[in-house]
Amino acid sequence: MSDTAARTERMRDLYEAGRYADLLVLLQQSLAEAELEVAPERTRFFMTMFHWQMLVEDYPPARAALEAARDEQAARLFAGDLYAGLDDDAARDEDSFRRVQRFSLIADMNRTLGDARSTHALFVRLDAGQPALARQYAYLALPAVVEAGDFELADRYRHDPLRLLAEVNRDSTAWPLFPPPIHPRMSAQLSNVVRDVRIGIDVLRGLGRVAEADALPESLLSGLASGELRAWAQRELAEPGSITRHFVECQMALEDRASE
* pLDDT tens readout for residues 83-100: 998 876 554 544 455 689
**What is the arithmetic mean of pLDDT over 114-140?**
95
pLDDT-derived band at 246, boundaries 50, 70, 90: confident
First to last CA, the chain: 10
Tell me the one-letter amino acid at 172: S
**Rounded to 5, what percent of the chain is helix, strand, coil?**
75, 0, 25
Are the beta carbons of 158 and 184 closer than 8 angstroms?
Answer: no
Are the beta carbons of 100 and 184 closer than 8 angstroms?
Answer: no
Residue, of 235 and 178, whose pLDDT is higher: 235
**What is the arithmetic mean of pLDDT over 123-152?**
95
pLDDT-derived band at 168, boundaries 50, 70, 90: very high
Q: What is the pLDDT of residue 38?
A: 87
Is the pLDDT score of 209 beyond 60?
yes
Residue, of 123 and 46, whose pLDDT is higher: 123
Q: What is the pLDDT of residue 191?
A: 93
Is the pLDDT score of 1 beyond 60?
no
Tell me the one-letter amino acid at 94: E
**What is the arithmetic mean of pLDDT over 10-34?**
95
pLDDT digits (tens, 9 = 90+) for 37-80: 888 888 889 889 999 999 999 999 999 999 999 999 999 999 99
Distance of CA 225 to the CA centre of its chain: 24
Average pLDDT of the chain to the nearest whole number? 90
Are the beta carbons of 193 and 240 closer than 8 angstroms?
Answer: no
Query: 11 CB contacts (<8 Å, ≥6 apart)?
Result: 23, 26, 27, 47, 48, 51
Q: Coil, helix or strand for 214?
A: helix
**What is the arithmetic mean of pLDDT over 157-161?**
94
**What is the arithmetic mean of pLDDT over 212-228?**
95
Residue, of 257 and 134, whose pLDDT is higher: 134
Is the pLDDT score of 34 beyond 80?
yes
Query: 180 CB contacts (<8 Å, ≥6 apart)?
Result: 254
**Candidate from 68-72, 98-102, 177-181, 241-245 with smallest mean pLDDT:** 177-181
Burial 143-169 (b: 16+ CB within 10 A, else e): bbbbebebbebbbebbeebbebbeebe
**What is the arithmetic mean of pLDDT over 140-151?**
96
Q: What is the pLDDT of residue 92?
A: 52
pLDDT-derived band at 183, boundaries 50, 70, 90: low
Are the beta carbons of 42 and 98 closer than 8 angstroms?
Answer: yes
For the whole model, what pTM was predicted? Answer: 0.78
